[in-house]
Amino acid sequence: MIAVYSLPWCAYSSSIARRGKLCGHFRSRQQRLVVLVAVNGCTATQPGPAPGTSNPRLQLASKLTCEDAWVGSAPPAPEAPAAEGVSSLSWSGSPANYSWPIRDEMNGYPYTGNGGKTYGAWKTPITVAAGSGERTITIDAPSDASLIIASASEWETSEAVRHGDPDLPSSYTVTACEDRPAQFPGMTLVQGPACVVIRVTEKATAKFSTVSVPMYGASCP
């Protein structure tokens, strides 16, 4: 039971008391009910998720266009590994100090995705050559590896993309800019040392080629 018979209004809400002249004792039952409503209002909290439900995870977009690329993207580096007009210097492999298991930030970059799976990540932004049309990018092997290719705005504003637990597409389709290179942020994710085989397909002709990325101490043939 909540006793409200002799408490002044300001005992419940000093901020309300400052705005009016309501500080004092209430005498009627109707006024006491008003106080009780005010008390409940002051102590209300935001409702949590309904039992058995949770906040939905971010679903990363699988189709990206020129408008999603970084503005002022640099031209592809001549020495960068490339496949069908898509290249990345980071496809040369994760740094030599990256190893498995990840102990701390000195030997890897832990990442969680796809419903709580733990990965080792390596940032691998890609550059799509100007005027090269649509390209589909996916992983051939290993089956437990994943890719992140994101829009520049989402990468810069979403904690869920960089550090959270998004649902990741199995493939991405990127559309090149006509008059400039298009660079998209991204990561390659593994669940152990692996040679990650990334396939790039020219959508118009179905022609494809692959690039192999050594990750976390693995080597590629």
Query: How does pLDDT run across 104-126, given as a tens digit for each residue?
Result: 999 999 999 988 899 999 999 99
Would you say residue 2 lies in a domain? no
Would you say residue 111 lies in a domain? yes
Same domain for 31 and 68, yes or no, is no
Point out which residues pair with 213 in neighbouring strands.
Answer: 196
Please tell me whether the overall predicted TM-score, pTM, comes out greater than 0.85 for this model: no
Same domain for 76 and 161, yes or no, is yes
Can you give the pLDDT at residue 72? 81
The token pair at 44 is 């209300």
Same domain for 205 and 160, yes or no, is yes
The mean pLDDT of 153-165, rounded to a whole number, is 84
Are 206 and 135 in contact, with CB atoms under 8 Å apart?
A: no
Would you say residue 57 lies in a domain? no
Are 136 and 200 in contact, with CB atoms under 8 Å apart?
A: yes
Same domain for 128 and 29, yes or no, is no
Would you say residue 126 lies in a domain? yes
Can you give the pLDDT at residue 54? 52
Same domain for 31 and 135, yes or no, is no
Same domain for 78 and 112, yes or no, is yes
Same domain for 130 and 187, yes or no, is yes
Q: Of the ranges 4-18, 56-70, 80-94, 169-183, which one carries the lowest mean pLDDT score?
A: 4-18
Torsion, CA 61, CA 112, CA 196, CA 178, rounded to 10: 30
Percentage of the chain beyond pLDDT 90 is 64
Same domain for 13 and 101, yes or no, is no
* Strand pairing class (146-149; 186-190): antiparallel
Beta strands in the chain (DSSP E): 63-64, 82-83, 86-87, 110-113, 117-123, 126-128, 134-141, 146-149, 171-175, 182-184, 186-190, 194-202, 208-215
| pLDDT confidence band for 218 (50 / 70 / 90) | very high
Same domain for 103 and 199, yes or no, is yes
What amino acid is encoded at 64 in this protein?
L
- Domain around 140: 63-215
How many structural domains comprise the chain?
2
The token pair at 213 is 């990325």
Can you give the pLDDT at residue 100? 97
Can you give the pLDDT at residue 161? 87
Residue of higher predicted confidence among 34 and 59:
59
**What's 153's domain CATH number?**
2.60.40
The mean pLDDT of 3-25, rounded to a whole number, is 39
Are 127 and 182 in contact, with CB atoms under 8 Å apart?
A: yes
Would you say residue 201 lies in a domain? yes
A 10 A CB-CB count for 118 gives 12
* Strand pairing class (171-175; 182-184): unpaired
Beta strands in 33-80 (DSSP E): 63-64
The mean pLDDT of 154-164, rounded to a whole number, is 84
Phi then psi dihedrals of residue 38, to 5 deg: -65, -40
Mean residue pLDDT of the chain comes to 81
Would you say residue 58 lies in a domain? no
Three-class DSSP category at 152: helix
Evaluate if residue 4 carries a pLDDT over 50: no
Residue of higher predicted confidence among 25 and 82:
82
Can you give the pLDDT at residue 55? 55
Q: Using one digit for the tens of pLDDT, what is the confidence trace for 42-100?
A: 444 444 445 544 556 788 999 999 999 998 877 888 999 999 999 999 999 999 999 99
Would you say residue 49 lies in a domain? no
Euclidean distance between CA atoms 66 and 210, whole angstroms: 23
Same domain for 106 and 172, yes or no, is yes
Can you give the pLDDT at residue 180? 93
Same domain for 139 and 206, yes or no, is yes
Same domain for 37 and 67, yes or no, is no
Tell me how far CA of residue 124 lies from CA of 85, 94, 150, 169, 202, in angstroms: 16, 9, 11, 16, 20
Evaluate if residue 186 carries a pLDDT over 50: yes
Would you say residue 3 lies in a domain? no
Are 50 and 56 in contact, with CB atoms under 8 Å apart?
A: no
